[in-house]
Amino acid sequence: MTIATKRRALLAGAAAILAAPSIARAQGAWPERPIKLVVPFPAGQAADTFGRLIAERLSARWKQQIVVENKGGGAGIPALESVAKAPPDGYTLVVGTSGTIGINPSFMKGQMTYDAIADFAPCSNIFQVPLIIVAHPSHPANSVAELIAQAKAAPGKLGYASAGVGASQHLSMELFKAKAGVDIEHVPYKGSGPAMQDLLAGHVTLMMDSVTSAIAHIRNGKIKPLGVTTLKRAPLLPDVPAISETVPGFDAAGWSGILAPAKTPRPIVEKISADMRAEMAVPEVAKRIIELGGIAHPTTPEEYAAFIKAEIEKWAEVVRISGAKPG
């Protein structure tokens, strides 16, 4: 070993010794101060609603305030980038979603400024939100099977509305088209609200929407449900079949969970995950998630990492076969 090499080794050892106390403090006493939770969408959206719910529960458990910061715009890219670059000390977290983590890596590939896998440490998912194919009462199909038969009888003649190009509603319907072998034209809108208004008015007769958004109109009979996108039926709509009952294996949903910057100490990541899972096991929390239109989906860090990897692969294939591109 050369003198220069020995010197570098000594310096590295000294640096490790100096850093050890701060690492120990971060892992042992965390959290010692307020935590920032970045939500990549405006207040009121599902990621914000469920993020605030879990933030409130963890704040009480940890005796430290979790400050929610809404950082919308740019398909969530600026928000995720800011957290990817934050110090990995457990004091800056982000709500990762089906769009920002699952869909963006393929759909927004040329515009991505973060790596959905390498830049983050997954803690736990919070929920999944079923999507649903709904129709105007005048639409002839009353089930997924009837819709498939209708679409096969008139390829390209039917149209469906969604919240916009690249939204989970759009790509979930494209996944349905691929698995069912049907051709239904996409009619994109700038948000779920305008699309639903046209559906209610009968200007379009089919739509893929979230259960959370559509449930009131389903209950008052203004639209009819055909099938939900999750593998199993939605708790809020137990009488509505899952699409998988007609198209075996079909499974798609919106989701949100908590991510920390990569290299956050493992004990902190595991504590966040364990405490999130403990809170979601509380009956009143699980009930509230269902009331908000979701399904609790607690995971270990390893389970969440595997889930994210599978989601990225699934949506990359949907983007490929649909040819969907940012508008």
Read off the pTM. Answer: 0.80
Please give the structure tokens belonging to residue 67.
Answer: 């400050």
Domain range summary for the chain, segments of one domain joined by +: 30-128+254-322, 130-245
- Position 42 scores a pLDDT of 84
Looking at domain 30-128+254-322, its CATH class is: alpha beta
Which fold, 130-245?
D-Maltodextrin-Binding Protein; domain 2 (3.40.190)
- Position 17 scores a pLDDT of 43
Residues of the chain scoring pLDDT < 50: 1, 3-7, 9-27
- Position 327 scores a pLDDT of 67
Tens of pLDDT, residue by residue over 33-82, are 999 999 998 887 788 999 999 999 999 999 999 999 999 888 899 999 99
- Position 324 scores a pLDDT of 83
